[in-house]
Structure 1
Amino acid sequence: MARTIDQQIAEAQARLSRLKERQKASETRRKIIVGSVVISNALKEPEKARALAALLRRAVTREVDAKELTGLLGELDTVAEKAALRPQGAGGEGRS
């Protein structure tokens, strides 16, 4: 039995909708992976911690989002402060 043009259009639209959902899921996974790598790296390196905290404070403007980041910003600040308190030449590069 032959499909009508309307049926073919409906099927094509449904297929397009599924592809868009897959694309969005892929983009979300990519953001999660990149975010995880960036955060993990920043929590190990004081300069990156300082830079990421500054970027987040500058770029995140919605109050609900800022509240969600409170704990992370505290962790980043702690990493950055530990480096500032460490004497030069004591296991770090220090500042010149």
Structure 2
Amino acid sequence: MARSIDQQIATTQAKLNRLKQRQKASETRRKIIVGAIVTTEALKDPKIARWMAATLRKNATREVDQKELVGLLDELDQVAAKADRT
């Protein structure tokens, strides 16, 4: 039995929604990977640490985000300060 046009539209919309979810999940994974790599390098390199700390302070404007970053910002500041002392 042939499907109605409404059924075909619903099936196509469901497929589109699944593809959009996969795309969003892929973008999220990419952000996590990049963030992990940049954070790891920043904790080793004072120049990157300074840049990352300044960038985070400038761009993380929501209070909830700022609270989440307190520990990382402290670590980055320590890496930058350690280089300044040597």
TM score, norm. by length of structure 2:
0.98
- RMSD between superposed Cα atoms in Å: 0.4
Give the residue type in structure 2 aligned to 1:47: K
Structure 2 stretches of 5 or more lacking a match? Answer: none
Helix, strand or coil: the match of 1:3? coil
Name the residue aligned to 1:48.
Answer: 48
Give the residue type in structure 1 aligned to 2:40: S
Distance 2:53 2:62 in 1: 16
Rg larger in 1 or in 2? 1
Pick the structure with more helix per residue.
Answer: 2
- Taking CA–CA contacts closer than 8 Å with sequence separation of 6 or more, which of the two structures ends up with the larger relative contact order? 2
Query: Which portions of structure 1, spanning 4 or more consecutive aligned residues, are displaced by more than 4 angstroms?
Result: none
Structure 1 stretches of 5 or more lacking a match? Answer: 87-96
TM score, norm. by length of structure 1:
0.88
Give the residue type in structure 2 aligned to 1:60: A
